Amino acid sequence: MSCVETQNLTRVVSKFHLLGFSEDPALQRHLFGLFLSMYLVTVLGNLLIILAVTSDPHLHTPMYFFLFSLSLADVGFTSTTVPKMIVAILTHSTVISYAGCLTQMSLFLLFGCMDDLLLTVMAYDRFVAICHPLHYQVIMNPRRCVCLITVSFVVSVSESLLHNLLIVPVTCFKQMDISNFFCDPSQLLNLTCLDTLTHDTVRYLIGVLFGFVPISAILFSYGKIVSSILRVPSPGGRYKAFSTCGSHLSVVCLFYGTGFGVYLSSAFSTSSRKNAVASLMYTLVTPMLNPFIYSLRNRDMKGALQRIANKIISYL
């Protein structure tokens, strides 16, 4: 069916339906409790990271400045999709307005891209710290750190605007059902009357810019890092260097692993439940685990959190 014929069979929509996980009433209460608890853990964990970095002078370094920014992005990323899902489960409503859907999509792309780019920036920071330790303070000066965050934000906004420029002018959609618990940009793009060539061009462009390029930069950085660490004569020095990068590398594997999982799930499965579960790993589980990974594997962060806990206890 041609695009013109499709447009004649469709109508302007004012709302969409998020199919979510399950319509079984027996599961709704369990899903509500599970997702609410996971969301609270995610927000509180990342807020603790933010509080620790801002309140402890020992953490006022480029590495923790980027971690602070990543935690902010994670809070925004999760808060864009999960609260709406929790409310939908509680109210048994799958409806989201057209304006609400576009807003959710825009914020999802903004914070998701920020996560992507910040992990790349953090890999560059570790590369400089281990491969060029004597020049670290000069290279990663405050001005450059702020510049890297600013560029990441501008690029993220640009990606969000690119999707909006494609979808906002569209006046009709093939259907109103979205096979996910949020307004997934790729699925929303599929529902438009745009031709297949436009779909594929946007996917390949975004895949290269925000998938291939960042992961290539991260792999290059860690290739250089591993090469430098292996030249360290002391086993204790090698262990310290590996432990310094271990937290970030764990988060990178988790983030990109679940991200590729979502892509493969969408490509090979039409099941809305499977797509939603894969997206849940990407949007909620990864941001929830980040604070645990950084705090459990980082002595400085554990010390800062312990000092915060001691202050709270002393006030009580």
Written as one string, the DSSP assignment of 160-208 is HHHHHHHHTT---BS-SEESSSS--HHHHHHHBS--HHHHHHHHHHHHI
Tell me which of 312 and 76 has the higher pLDDT.
Answer: 76
Q: Is the pLDDT of residue 201 over 80?
A: no
Q: Is the pLDDT of residue 11 over 50?
A: no
Alpha-carbon distance of 170 to 173, in angstroms, equals 8
Give, in order, the Cα–Cα distances in Å from 286 to each of 202, 254, 278. 25, 6, 11
- The secondary structure element, H or E, covering residue 16 is strand 15-18
What pLDDT was estimated at residue 264?
Answer: 57
Bridge partner residues of 18 (DSSP): 178
* pLDDT band for position 304 (cuts 50, 70, 90): confident
Helices assigned H by DSSP within 270-298: 272-280, 286-296
Encoded tokens for 82: 């999960």
Residue 64 CA to its chain's centroid (Å)? 18
Q: Which residue has the higher pLDDT, 42 or 176?
A: 42
What's the mean pLDDT in 51-61?
89
Distances (CA, A) of 163 to 51, 87, 198: 34, 26, 11
In this predicted structure, what is the pLDDT of residue 194?
64
Residue 31 has pLDDT above 50, yes or no: yes
What letter would DSSP give residue 282? I
Is pLDDT of 62 > 80? yes
Instruction: Give the closest residue to 229 by CA, choosing from 308, 162, 131.
Output: 131
The DSSP 8-state label assigned to residue 132 in this structure reads S
- CATH C-level class of 14-315: mainly alpha
Q: What element of type H or E holds 15?
A: strand 15-18
CA atoms 241, 245, 250, 256: torsion sign: negative
Supply 252's token pair: 């990178």
Instruction: Compare 132 and 28 and report the one with higher pLDDT.
Output: 132
Beta-sheet strand order (sheet of 177-178) = 95-97, 15-18, 177-178
| pLDDT-based confidence at residue 181 (cuts at 50, 70, 90) | confident
Beta-carbon neighbour count of residue 168 at 10 Å? 11
Say if residue 169's pLDDT is above 80. no
248: number of Cβ within 10 Å: 25
pLDDT confidence tier of residue 121, bands split at 50, 70 and 90: very high
pLDDT bin (cut points 50, 70, 90) of residue 272 is low
Between residues 56 and 278, the one the model is more confident about? 56
* 103 has pLDDT over 70: yes
Q: Where are the domains of the chain?
A: 14-315
pLDDT band at 47 (very low <50, low <70, confident <90, very high): very high
Q: What is the pTM of this model?
A: 0.86
Size of the chain in residues: 316
pLDDT above 90 covers a percentage of the chain that reads 28
